[in-house]
């Protein structure tokens, strides 16, 4: 495909409620969208980096800068660009997987629209809909936490994930388990603990959790392997899994028995599929993590989550979980599931009025 034009668009989307985790409290999403024209067809990509470098070193302004100054000149210099070539072309740019993923996503969307093929079909989806879980931020008061969880269960979500940190872990989990009984329940620490917390984290074993997600710092693979010998609850890695090779190594070392796949974190949906395949070959189940995406990123995530080894409900929540107004037609929960889009490419496109309402800047690159 001939890449004719790239637009870098920034939008500012308010959240329906503040979302608190160990990485900080979010009140809105500052989102970078990559909009390409290739062979006369549009394609959209979404960068999942947050506004501040708290979840990872990547952040929205930095992603915008590295795409504009370093990635686009490499891509626009090519006569033809296909999605499968993007990561290779961008090899001179070290790191920045979320920025690269956004560019790859936009080009893949355009490519698939030209071919009349959906994301789900391209990636290898085997289900028409995916089971949905929801991520619940840290609450200062247990009664508020219980009220929030009760609401999501009433909405039909099939799995509850609680964010935890020291001071908001065992007793919060206990309260939810006692209040709601035999629900699918897991916790996410976002690297908030250290190896010395092993015995404390083992106290979570009594609650029959699906998993403990990323309890230790992302670079501490050995620590996770040691923790897995102390804690009976399965260890799931998130931030540590940056590629298919990283997944292969972590599994071999016994650092995890479940993997969270986020396409932005591993550098794109093509690499996300490779992570899925590596885990499937080793009988390690996976699930799709979320980064508070707009409907563009949500469409791609739902397609990814329909691959066969995604056997646990992901963070593929309905649009209304985060946004009163999305930039595409909202994804609505139906019996605890979201339908996999079947139209060409992402199967969704931005609503022009909503896009203009939330846009704060547009930069055109040729």
Average pLDDT over residues 261-288: 98
**Which tokens is 62 given?**
């930095």
Residue ranges per domain, the chain?
Answer: 3-116+349-365, 120-339
Task: Verify whether residue 262 is a known catalytic residue.
Answer: yes
CATH 3.30.565.10 is held by the domain 120-339: no
Residue 357 has pLDDT above 90, yes or no: yes
pLDDT tens sequence across 74-98: 999 998 999 999 999 999 999 999 9
Residue 22 has pLDDT above 70, yes or no: no
Given the residues 100, 158, 161, 262, the one annotated as active site: 262
- What pLDDT band is residue 349 in, cutting at 50, 70 and 90? very high
Average pLDDT over residues 340-345: 98
pLDDT, the chain, mean: 96
Q: Which helix (H) or strand (E) holds 364?
A: strand 359-365
What percent of the chain is predicted at pLDDT more than 90? 95
User: 2-6, 21-25, 238-242 — which is least confidently predicted?
Assistant: 21-25
Contact 321, 352 (CB under 8 A): no
**Which tokens is 243 given?**
């590629």
pLDDT tens sequence across 276-335: 999 999 999 999 999 999 999 999 999 999 999 999 999 999 999 999 999 999 999 999
Contact 84, 270 (CB under 8 A): yes
- What pLDDT band is residue 47 in, cutting at 50, 70 and 90? very high
Residue 20 has pLDDT above 80, yes or no: no
Predicted confidence at residue 179, as pLDDT, reads: 98
**Which tokens is 31 given?**
């989102």
Given the residues 100, 158, 161, 163, the one annotated as active site: 163
Sign of CA dihedral 325, 55, 145, 130: positive
Task: Verify whether residue 163 is a known catalytic residue.
Answer: yes
Which residues contact residue 255 at a Cβ distance below 8 angstroms, ignoring those fewer than 6 apart?
Answer: 221, 222, 224, 225, 228, 235, 237, 240
**Strand pairing of 212-213 and 185-188?**
parallel
Say which residue, 17 or 120, is predicted with more confidence.
120
Q: What topology does CATH give the domain 3-116+349-365?
A: Enolase-like; domain 1 (3.30.390)
Listed in sequence order, the DSSP H helices in the chain are 60-66, 72-76, 83-89, 97-115, 119-123, 142-155, 170-180, 198-202, 221-230, 244-252, 263-266, 269-281, 295-305, 352-358
Assign 9 to helix, strand or coil. Answer: strand
pTM for the predicted model, two decimal places = 0.96
**Which tokens is 355 given?**
């896009």
Predicted confidence at residue 60, as pLDDT, reads: 97
């Amino acid at each position: 495909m001939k890449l004719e034009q790239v637009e870098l668009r920034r939008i500012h989307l308010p959240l329906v409620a503040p979302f608190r985790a160990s990485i900080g409290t979010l009140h809105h999403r500052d989102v970078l969208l990559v909009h390409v024209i290739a062979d006369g067809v549009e394609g959209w990509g979404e960068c999942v980096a947050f506004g501040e470098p708290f979840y990872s070193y990547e952040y929205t302004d930095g992603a915008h800068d590295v795409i504009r100054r370093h990635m686009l000149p490499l891509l626009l210099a090519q006569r033809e660009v296909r999605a499968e070539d993007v990561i290779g072309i961008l090899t001179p740019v070290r790191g920045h997987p979320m920025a690269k993923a956004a560019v790859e996503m936009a080009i893949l969307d355009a490519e698939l629209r030209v071919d009349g093929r959906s994301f789900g079909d391209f990636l290898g989806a085997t289900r028409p809909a995916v089971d949905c879980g929801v991520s619940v931020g840290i609450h200062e008061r247990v009664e508020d936490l219980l009220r929030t969880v009760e609401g999501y269960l009433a909405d039909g979500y099939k799995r509850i994930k609680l964010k935890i940190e020291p001071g908001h872990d065992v007793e919060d989990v206990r309260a939810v388990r006692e209040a709601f009984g035999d629900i699918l329940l897991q916790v996410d620490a976002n690297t908030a603990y250290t190896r010395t917390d092993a015995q404390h984290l083992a106290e979570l074993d009594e609650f029959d959790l699906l998993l403990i997600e990323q309890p230790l710092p992302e670079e501490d693979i050995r620590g996770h392997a040691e923790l897995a010998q102390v804690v009976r609850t399965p260890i799931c890695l998130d931030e540590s899994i940056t590629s298919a090779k990283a997944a292969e190594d972590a599994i071999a070392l016994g650092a995890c028995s479940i993997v969270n796949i986020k396409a932005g974190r591993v550098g794109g949906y093509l690499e996300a599929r490779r992570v899925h395949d590596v885990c499937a070959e080793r009988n390690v189940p996976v699930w799709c993590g979320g980064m508070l995406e707009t409907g563009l990123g949500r469409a791609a995530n739902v397609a990814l989550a329909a691959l066969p080894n995604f056997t646990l409900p992901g963070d593929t929540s309905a649009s209304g979980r985060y946004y009163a107004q999305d930039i595409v037609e909202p994804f609505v929960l139906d019996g605890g599931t979201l339908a996999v889009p079947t139209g060409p490419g992402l199967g969704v496109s931005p609503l022009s009025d909503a896009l203009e309402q939330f846009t704060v800047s547009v930069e055109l690159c040729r």
